[in-house]
Amino acid sequence: MRAYSTREVADLIGDSQQRVRAAARAGFVSPLKNPQGHFRFSFQDLVLLRSTKVLEQQNLGVRRMWRALRAVRAHLPPSRPLSSVRVVAANNRVLVQDNNTSWDPETGQTLFNFTVREFDPSAATIASARMDVKLVTTDTADYWFERGLKLDRAELQGEAANAYRRALAIDPGHVSASINLGRILHATRDYGAAEALYREALELHPDHAIAAFNLGVVLEDQGTIDDAIDNYQRAVSSDPTLPDAHYNLARLYEWRGESALAAHHMSRFRALSGEDS
């Protein structure tokens, strides 16, 4: 099972590493820790964290939102991902749609069999007043990105690539989809297409460390060493705690005979990866 680092989760959901760590420390998600004490998040954790982004603007209160989403995850069988249901914000509460059934994750109560588009606001079964309902729809860039993640995890890279392409067709500025699609194309040696995706991501987010690092790797694979070094340096300038970028810089500087720079970056790599402890 794929485990995601704090940095990967932050990049994929478009949030800060500090907020991801805070969610873990508060018990909103339950990541494992590696031998160095760093969090390692599951795919379910990733989906749960991304789901909160959709509900943050609904004025539900952060703790209540997390409590409801954790209840959703606890209610579902382990074999069913959180992304398999619709999460609805309505009348200051969280509802879940599963096929034609809607239920309140905080109480476990099944409310009424309906689809939101067919909901009759005059029906008193749920509320006497009209409900302002907002859905996590299934044809958004985020939906297709999450579907791509799931397929990626199942090692169905061809289908994952198609899902990422669909996300980008809906939102060409979805940087995480660009990076993940680039990684798949890179693995199939489609270097030109991967390079283009990484460069597009950096045009949108010039300080995106992962995009710069991945661009460095694809340039190195094409033998463009000086440009690769420039992008690894760009990556560590944006995120000095990126160990793989320091390691690649150490290798390439050593290859160029620049021993002092190679030693500096190798030292940083060892410190960040816990090899000095």
What are the structural domains, with CATH classification, of the chain?
Answer: 4-135 (1.10.1660.10), 141-239 (1.25.40.10)
Pairing of strands 39-41, 134-135: unpaired
Calpha distance 36→47 (Å, rounded):
25
Structure tokens at 153: 């995890």
**pLDDT digit string (tens) for 212-240?**
999 999 999 999 999 999 999 999 999 99
Calpha distance 252→274 (Å, rounded):
22
| DSSP helix/strand/coil, 120 | coil
| DSSP helix/strand/coil, 146 | helix
Position 142 pLDDT exceeds 90? no
| DSSP helix/strand/coil, 151 | helix
Calpha distance 171→163 (Å, rounded):
12
Global pTM? 0.52
Per-range mean pLDDT, top range of 17-31, 109-123, 223-237: 223-237
Calpha distance 240→219 (Å, rounded):
21
Calpha distance 112→95 (Å, rounded):
11
Structure tokens at 97: 């749609």
CA dihedral (64, 66, 70, 75) positive or negative: positive
Structure tokens at 19: 């907020």
CA dihedral (118, 122, 126, 131) positive or negative: positive
Position 12 pLDDT exceeds 90? no
